[in-house]
Each structure stands twice: as structure tokens, then as C-alpha cells.
A and B are shown apart, each in its own frame.
Chain A
Amino acid sequence: MSVTPFTVDGKKVKIDSDPQMPLLYALRDDLKMNNPKFGCGLAQCGACTVHLDGHAVRSCVLPVSAVKGKKVTTLAGLGTPEKPHPIQVAFVEEQVPQCGHCINGWIMTSAAYLKQNPQASDAQIREALQGLKCRCGTHVSILRAIKRAQTLMA
């Protein structure tokens, strides 16, 4: 057991745990956060994505000890209904999620990607986000929402 201090959505936290425990369990079980989600535990789907110092990472395979002293941002920290991130505005306007279990991954990953690549083309977006999964088949509206977000962010 060891103590890992880090920041989540601007708040300082300390997690006393097996240092190999993935960050996901610190967020979901210790801190009782509803996002990110467990999808596979294998970094194959993206449902667990958070931002680590601004970069999208898969929290299901990242040991909690690796985030010591770093800044973790979750979906709740990306934006709120009162102060939404443009990606969230676009996903609401396009009515994207069906079951919604994957949506954390799409929003967190595309937010980090568009920050670096605001002008990305349709083909580039398809390529960049192909490691995410959606089982309800909302891909067409996801693409519409990302394009809408690009306009909002321009």
C-alpha cells in the first residue's frame, strides 16, 4: 500500500492503495465518481478516458502511482451544464448518446484531439478516433457532433 497525491478536476486528493491499482478504480471506487466508465479494462474501448495534464489517457490500465502529483481531469471537470465544453454542447445538440456508456470516451478523446488538431478533416477524425468503441451505432451522429464542435471552437 502507498499513498498517491494528485489533483482531480482541480481538487487535491490522496489515494491510499496498492500502487498498481489502475487509476480508474481510484476514481470510481475510492472517489465515487460516475465517470469515467469501465468498458474493458484492456485499453480497447476508451470508456475510461481521462485527461492527464491535458492528454487523453486510458485510466483502466494506468497505475494510480503513475499520476502522483499530476492533474487529472474527468468528464465532470471538462465542462458543466452551466459552463459546457464546446464538445459537450455539440454532443447535446446532436443528441448523440443512446445508452451513453461510451460517451465519456468520445468526448474526452475528441476534446484532447481537437485541441491539438482544430482543423482536422473528416478522414483524420475517423482515423484518430478509431480506437474508441460505440455499441449502439451512434457513429454518424458522433461525426456530426465533432464537426459541429469544430465550428463552435473556430
Chain B
Amino acid sequence: MHNKQVNAAQSGLNRRDFLGAAGGLVVFVAGVGLPMAACAAVTVGSTKPALAADELDSWVAILPDGRVEAYYGKVDLGQSLEVAIGQIVAEELDVPYAKVQVVMGNTASSMNQGGASSALGIQAGAKPLRNAAAEARRILLDLAAHKLDVPVSRLGVNDGVVSVAGDASKTVTYAELIGGKFFNSKVEWNQKIGNPLDIKVQAKVKSPKDYKVVGQSIARNDVAWKVFGTQGNIADVRVPGMLHARVIRTPVAGSLAVKVDLNSISHIPGARVVHEKNFLAVVADKEWDAVKAARDLKVTWSASTRPLPEFAKLHDHIRQAPTVKLDESESRGDVAGALKTAARTLEAQYLWPFQSHASMGPASAVAHVKPDGVTLWTGTQKPHYARDGVANLLKVPADSVHAIWVLGPGSYGRNDAGDAAMDAAMLSKLTGRPVRVQGMRHDGTAWDPKAPASVHRARAAIDANGKITGYDFTSRAFSRATIESNESDPRDSLVGMEMGLPPKGGVTFGTPEESYGFANKRLAWEVIPDLIASASPMRTSHMRDPVGLQIQFASEQFIDELAYATGTDPVAFRIEHAKEPRDQAVLQAAADKAGWQPRGNAPRDRTGAMLKGRGIAYARRAGTIVAVVAEIEVDRKTGRIWGRKFTVAHDCGLIVNPQGLRYTIEGALVQALSRILFEEVQFAPDKVISVDWNTYPILSLKDAPEVVDVVLINRPEAPSTGAGEATCRVVPAAVANAFYDATGVRLRQAPMTPERVLAVLA
């Protein structure tokens, strides 16, 4: 069990123990140092108000010993977010960071702040906690002023001790003021849940110029237990009396179980089949028995309708399929006219495959459905939505479901964790026992919701002077989320669809994010139909930086092509056309740190066995700006690309924890490098071929970069924006542009495998 979550779940009880029989203490603050209108009646109480966004106690608590608990409705996936949130709370409360415990992802103690979502952990998720901490400090100072009988203006706080200027004899600690009791104070909630949830408070938050804790590189709390194995993750949740389950899903895409031979597992004592409509599973007391039963169960599947295209013709399929929806996010000037009257035009297409989250371990979950309520232990990164989804699936009230997030075996968007939670809930309902579901490797790869495949078409008009007079970029693709990125609706789950719910089928994609100021410019997308309408192994959902890699692989390669077509250095071209000063600064910082030498069209000797090249790419992502210089080696004989060195310049506004940010950027970069060099979901017309690490290869240690240089541009005047995903989207094009620099040839299809490299170099 994950101790932190258990503690969180029990913390209400602990508090009551501390409080004993003490009744509510009402303190009327006499408005010392305040105009009378601002006099506040602060009711410090011994009962915690029910969890609600407009209750200060739902965000922050002072424990009897002065430690602070902060209740966070998102989760940290091992990237220092928990530390950053703790720093922000410590900063506003004027307590040391070490005194703050961030309690995450438990629906009994945290509001729904959307879970991990779009790298908004600080950008959106810190807002209510910062405000709540500031408000708590304001109220604590009011209480202290009353107790010490001095105006608030004479008070200061250091390490949770309130002292009086000029009178060292008068101090009081937060613990003495309220420890173990509750603020009973309302805050103004903006009536939203999920990412936009925020609160307004009377207190003013600190100015960044006064920050002492924010900005420090404080180490993570979750490293040691992982390295020593002293706590577990979601795979290690064990509940007394639980059954082990394996869900059995067809190896033939789109087919259904026609006949299940129950006798085929009669040799495994204790194993039995659960079969309800098209949902099929085996359960057993011993895990190995469940694994064996899943392996040995004889199932006759309906004939294949061969619903998938031929693998080699995936992108032809995308080009030829009907358009479900077209969206023009940006259209200015007359692009068609510019293309018609141009001295010359440039056009290229770029191809991206389906990719899988393929998390390190297949998902697991434990659910216990009892008459009086449901407990769910889940590794999903959006536990509040998983609670809602389970409630909707089982048709019980949401407040009767308690979801407890426990760190999963890797989470980069909606992976297989959401289905594991729903499967466990259904199986617990059907068996009347607590049930632990875990996937086998093929469940985590073949049945993982995919990142969509796409074709990107870019066109530009160039006048006689080499000026770009028109720019058109259109993505044509499968929807980025045929199932929603959260699990709140069972119609988006495999078990829901297998039990007969009609799929919802979301339709959306995206466009490049940059600040290029071309005069006539159009950015658009077109989405084509899903391959299989229901319970599809090719259903799509968000995967780290959803569609950012696809789009920027194309758009930032095309920008490079335009630079060379107009005889301009790729860095200079971008700095010339990017209109935002922060974008220009990021580009310049990356180029400076990498020691960028201008590239051009001068002939080069490319006859060597090992070709070396450099490329740059840049993008924005929801306010964050990032540029990457890739330095790669291409082995002409084997076709292997090694991304040897990367230089990243990164501007995400105010930096909360520089070291945590560096590690986050490094991980994002290496994962994106894996996606551009290796990753591609393979399939045949009747089935998914990529089912394990041999059929879905990812980057190995051998392919890891030798150097990742990170330049952090801190902008204390700008609000913090996301850092978990922005770097991902520029790595593919940086590598592709370096490949062109090395070889003089463009490779416009991902992944850039040795086979494709050899084919374009032949």
C-alpha cells in the first residue's frame, strides 16, 4: 500500500483524535489596524466542514504540531510537481517547505481540479492553493493580532511563528493559533470544476520579488521510496479477500466472443469465467491462476471484418477517407490568392503513425463494490473523473464512490489505466468481491488508447525577392480523442461499450502553435472517421502533448524547408518571422548555447560513413516557449540515427523549482526522441500487431543522448506555464532538420527508422 494515500484517507480521523472534546472557539477579531467594515468574524471550529471548493478548510489545514497539509486535486507523476505545489503553499504561509505535505488525488480530501492534464499542474492547479495559503496566513495573523493584542501591521511570520516587531517577548505559533482545528471560513469559488477551478480570497498573494521558497531547487519526496521499494505503486494495492482478474479481449480487431468453453479452464481450481454481454474476464484467488486461466481459456471469436487498412496504406487511407469535420483555427489575408500569384511555391507532406502510451507496466486497479458504497484504487491521472465514470457505469451516486489515486506504472495521458478502473468496478459488482485487475503486456500495448496517425500538408508562396507571401498548413488525421481524455463517461470505456453503451466518438485535432507573422496565413485541420466504431483497439485519446509532436514534426520541418528555399539560416529565418520577443529570445538562447553556426545551401562533403548534422525547431505550447537544437549522427551503412546532443532553451514564465524543471524537460525530450526514432503501432487489416516491446520498440539506453543542455529562462514577471509537455513537440522536427543538415535529404515520415533512413539515402 502507498502510505501517503492511506494517511490521507485517514487524516480526518487523526484530526478528530487530536481535537478531543473541544468545542468550537469563536474569535471576533476586533479589526485591529483595519477599517471596521473589514472586521472579520473568524470561527475556529473543531469540526471540518464537508469538502467543498468554497471552504478554506478544503484546501489547507494546520495540524496540531504546526505542519501544513495542502489538498491538491491534481497528481504528480514523478516530475517534482508535488514539491512545487508544496513550495508555493509554504511561500504564502511563511513556513519552511519541509513542514508542508501535499495530499493528492483522493476524492475524499481533494477537490476535482482535473487531475493531471495538459501540463497545467502549476499553471492552473496551483492557483487555488496559492490563494488558500495566502488566505490562511491572513486569518492566522488576525487571530495572532487578537491573541497578542497588537495590530496586524506589527506582526511578522517566520517558520510558522508569528512575532511582534520590537517586542521579542510576544510570539505565537500557527499550531497554537489553530493547530488541529479548522478555519470555518468561506472563499469565493468560481463555480467551475476541473482545470479552471479557482477561488478568490480577501488576502493578497505575495509579489514574486519577495519569494524565498519558490525558485529553490528542492529535492523530491518520492525518489527514495521508489529506489528502496519501501512503498508500493498501484500494482501493489492488496485488499483482503480480493480476487485477481484478467480481462480477455479479442485478438481480432472488432470481433466478439461467440463461444466460451468453460471446460477449457476446469484444470485450474479456483478460476472461473465472468461473461456479461460482450465483457469477458477470468477471476481467481491466486494471481497465477488468473493468468493461466486467461491464457488457457478457449474462446471462439466471430469472423474478422478486416476493419483496418493495410499497414503500408495507412496514410493513403487518411488522404482518401471522407472528412467528418474541418476546422480553420487561423485564417488571415488571402492565402489562395498568394499561392496563385507567387513567383514560386513550396509544398510538402509529412506523415505520422499511430503511437501507444505503452506504459512501463500494464495498468492495474482494485475496486470494492459494497451495498453502501464503492472504493476504487486507481492509477489513472484523473481520479475524480474515474470516480464519476465508475458511478455512471454502476448507476450509483458519485458521492458513494471513493476514488484513491495511487501512482501508476507510467502515465502520459489517458492510457489503459482508465479501462482497468472501470473493469475492476464492473467485476467487483458482478462477483460481489473486491477485485484486482491487471493487464498483461498485450493489454497495455495493443489495447492502449492510441495517439492518432496523421498526414500534414504544408504550402507556401514565395515572391521574387524570397519573401514568404502565403502560408497554408492543414492536418488531416484521425481524431485526437475518439474517447475523452478523462474517464467520467462509461461510453468512452471498453467495458461500457462491451456492455452495450453507444460510443460517443469525439472529433477534434489541432494546429501549430508559433508566432510566425506571415502576411497571408491559414492553419486548419480535417478529421476522418474512426476505423472501428465500438470497443476499438485503435481508439484514440490524449498522449503526452496531444498531437503536438505530429503537428510540429511537420510544421517546423516545413519552416526549415522554407529557410533553405529562401537561402536563409534556419535560426535567422525563425527569429525574423517569429513575432513575439520571448520567442525570439528562446531561439537565440538555444542557438547561443549550442554554438550554432549558420547553415546554408553550400555544397558539403557527405561521403563519410558517419554523417553529422544539426537542426533546430521551436514552438509555443499554452504560453510556454521552447526551442531545441539537435545534433545527430547518421550511420550511412546501418541507417541508425543517434541523437547525440540536445540543447534546450525553455521559457515557462516564473520558475518554481529549477532542478525539477530540468529533469522534467530531460524526460520529455528523451521520450519524444523515442517517438520520433522508434515508435509506430503496427497492424494488419484484422488485428493490431504491436503487442509488446519487440513489436512496439522504444528507445534503449544505447540510444540515449550523451548530453542534454538545458537553458532555463526565468521570467518572474510572467505567470508560470506548463513544462511537462512543451519540449516533446519540438524534438521530432529538430531531429528531422538535423537529418537534412547531415544528409542533404528530407525524411518526412515518422518514425525515422533505419529502414526509412536507408530508403531515402539509397
Binding site for B on A (CB under 8 A): 17-18, 21-22, 25, 28-29, 32, 34-35, 37-42, 44-45, 47, 74-76, 79-81, 84, 88, 91-92, 95-104, 107, 122, 125-127, 129-143
| Contact between B226 and A97, CB atoms less than 8 A apart | yes
26 A/B residue pairs, CB under 8 Å, sorted by A:
A17-B288, A21-B288, A25-B288, A25-B291, A29-B286, A34-B236, A35-B229, A39-B441, A81-B228, A92-B223, A95-B220, A97-B227, A99-B233, A99-B408, A100-B78, A100-B227, A100-B233, A102-B360, A104-B229, A125-B701, A134-B360, A135-B412, A137-B672, A137-B699, A138-B667, A140-B705
| Contact between A92 and B692, CB atoms less than 8 A apart | no
Nearest to A29 among chain B residues (CB) is: B287
Nearest to A146 among chain B residues (CB) is: B701
**Complex Cα gap A137–B674 (Å):** 8
Q: Does B231 contact A (CB under 8 A)?
A: yes
| Contact between A95 and B659, CB atoms less than 8 A apart | yes
B664-708 contacts to A (CB < 8 Å): 666-674, 692-694, 698-702, 704-706, 708
Q: Does B235 contact A (CB under 8 A)?
A: yes
Which listed residue (B361, B674, B700, B706) contacts A39, Cβ 8 A? Answer: B361
Binary per-residue interface labels of chain B (440-484) against chain A in the complex, 1 for a CB within 8 Å, 0 otherwise: 110000000000000000000000000000000000000000000
Binary per-residue interface labels of chain B (331-364) against chain A in the complex, 1 for a CB within 8 Å, 0 otherwise: 0000000000000000000000000001111100
Q: List 11 additional contacts besides A25-B288, A99-B359, A126-B704; criterion CB under 8 Å.
A: A42-B694, A44-B441, A45-B360, A91-B227, A96-B227, A97-B226, A100-B78, A136-B360, A136-B667, A137-B674, A143-B704
| Contact between B229 and A75, CB atoms less than 8 A apart | yes
| Contact between B702 and A126, CB atoms less than 8 A apart | yes
Nearest to B411 among chain A residues (CB) is: A99
| Contact between A103 and B227, CB atoms less than 8 A apart | yes
Contact partners of B666 in chain A: CB under 8 A: 137-138, 140-141
| Contact between A88 and B235, CB atoms less than 8 A apart | no
Write the nearest CB–CB distance from B643 to chain A, whole angstroms. 11
Q: Does B410 contact A (CB under 8 A)?
A: yes
| Contact between B287 and A88, CB atoms less than 8 A apart | no
**Complex Cα gap A131–B674 (Å):** 15
| Contact between A138 and B670, CB atoms less than 8 A apart | yes
Which listed residue (B220, B292, B670) contacts A137, Cβ 8 A? Answer: B670
Which listed residue (A81, A99, A127, A131) contacts B224, Cβ 8 A? Answer: A81
What number of B residues sit within 8 Å (CB to CB) of A?
Answer: 62
| Contact between B78 and A97, CB atoms less than 8 A apart | yes
| Contact between A126 and B409, CB atoms less than 8 A apart | no
**Complex Cα gap A125–B704 (Å):** 12
Of the listed residues B78, B288, B666, the one surrounded by the most CB atoms of chain A closer than 10 A to its CB is B288
- Interface SS of chain A: loop
Q: Which 8 A-B pairs have the closest CB atoms?
A: A137-B670, A100-B226, A98-B78, A139-B704, A101-B409, A137-B671, A35-B229, A34-B232
Contact partners of B231 in chain A: CB under 8 A: 34
Q: Does B713 contact A (CB under 8 A)?
A: no
Q: Does B756 contact A (CB under 8 A)?
A: no
| Contact between B288 and A97, CB atoms less than 8 A apart | no
| Contact between B226 and A37, CB atoms less than 8 A apart | no
Write the nearest CB–CB distance from B37 to chain A, whole angstroms. 50
Binding site for A on B (CB under 8 A): 77-79, 219-220, 222-224, 226-233, 235-236, 238, 244, 286-288, 291-292, 358-362, 407-412, 438, 440-441, 659, 663, 666-674, 692-694, 698-702, 704-706, 708
Contact partners of B670 in chain A: CB under 8 A: 137-140
| Contact between B692 and A40, CB atoms less than 8 A apart | yes
| Contact between B360 and A135, CB atoms less than 8 A apart | yes
**Complex Cα gap A95–B220 (Å):** 7
| Contact between B411 and A95, CB atoms less than 8 A apart | no
Contact partners of A25 in chain B: CB under 8 A: 286-288, 291
| Contact between A140 and B708, CB atoms less than 8 A apart | yes
Write the nearest CB–CB distance from A75 to chain B, whole angstroms. 4
| Contact between B669 and A137, CB atoms less than 8 A apart | yes
Of the listed residues A35, A39, A98, the one surrounded by the most CB atoms of chain B closer than 10 A to its CB is A98
**Complex Cα gap A51–B560 (Å):** 50
Contact partners of A130 in chain B: CB under 8 A: 700-702
**Complex Cα gap A84–B408 (Å):** 25
Which listed residue (B219, B674, B700, B704) contacts A140, Cβ 8 A? Answer: B704
| Contact between B288 and A135, CB atoms less than 8 A apart | no
**Complex Cα gap A142–B667 (Å):** 11
Nearest to B78 among chain A residues (CB) is: A98
| Contact between A99 and B220, CB atoms less than 8 A apart | no
Write the nearest CB–CB distance from A82 to chain B, whole angstroms. 10
| Contact between B701 and A139, CB atoms less than 8 A apart | yes
Contact partners of B287 in chain A: CB under 8 A: 25, 28-29
Known interface pairs A18-B288, A76-B229; A45-B693 also in contact (CB < 8 Å) = yes
Write the nearest CB–CB distance from B561 to chain A, whole angstroms. 28
Known interface pairs A28-B287, A38-B438, A135-B358; A95-B228 also in contact (CB < 8 Å) = no
Nearest to B244 among chain A residues (CB) is: A29
Known interface pairs A18-B288, A37-B409; A47-B361 also in contact (CB < 8 Å) = yes
Write the nearest CB–CB distance from B617 to chain A, whole angstroms. 18
Nearest to B441 among chain A residues (CB) is: A40
Write the nearest CB–CB distance from B360 to chain A, whole angstroms. 4
Write the nearest CB–CB distance from A119 to chain B, whole angstroms. 18
Write the nearest CB–CB distance from B417 to chain A, whole angstroms. 11
Nearest to B236 among chain A residues (CB) is: A34
Write the nearest CB–CB distance from A130 to chain B, whole angstroms. 4
**Complex Cα gap A29–B285 (Å):** 10
**Complex Cα gap A67–B12 (Å):** 46
Contact partners of A22 in chain B: CB under 8 A: 288
| Contact between B698 and A135, CB atoms less than 8 A apart | yes
Of the listed residues B77, B410, B694, B701, the one surrounded by the most CB atoms of chain A closer than 10 A to its CB is B701
Contact partners of B669 in chain A: CB under 8 A: 137
**Complex Cα gap A79–B223 (Å):** 15
Contact partners of B674 in chain A: CB under 8 A: 137
Of the listed residues A34, A96, A97, A131, the one surrounded by the most CB atoms of chain B closer than 10 A to its CB is A34
**Complex Cα gap A22–B286 (Å):** 13
| Contact between B701 and A95, CB atoms less than 8 A apart | no
Contact partners of B705 in chain A: CB under 8 A: 139-140
**Complex Cα gap A130–B704 (Å):** 10
**Complex Cα gap A134–B207 (Å):** 40
Of the listed residues B228, B672, B693, the one surrounded by the most CB atoms of chain A closer than 10 A to its CB is B228
Known interface pairs A99-B78, A137-B674; A42-B704 also in contact (CB < 8 Å) = no
Contact partners of A135 in chain B: CB under 8 A: 358-360, 410, 412, 671, 698
**Complex Cα gap A37–B236 (Å):** 9
Write the nearest CB–CB distance from A132 to chain B, whole angstroms. 7
Contact partners of B702 in chain A: CB under 8 A: 126-127, 130
**Complex Cα gap A40–B360 (Å):** 8
Contact partners of A98 in chain B: CB under 8 A: 77-79, 410, 663, 667
| Contact between B219 and A143, CB atoms less than 8 A apart | no
| Contact between A44 and B361, CB atoms less than 8 A apart | no
Contact partners of B699 in chain A: CB under 8 A: 137, 139
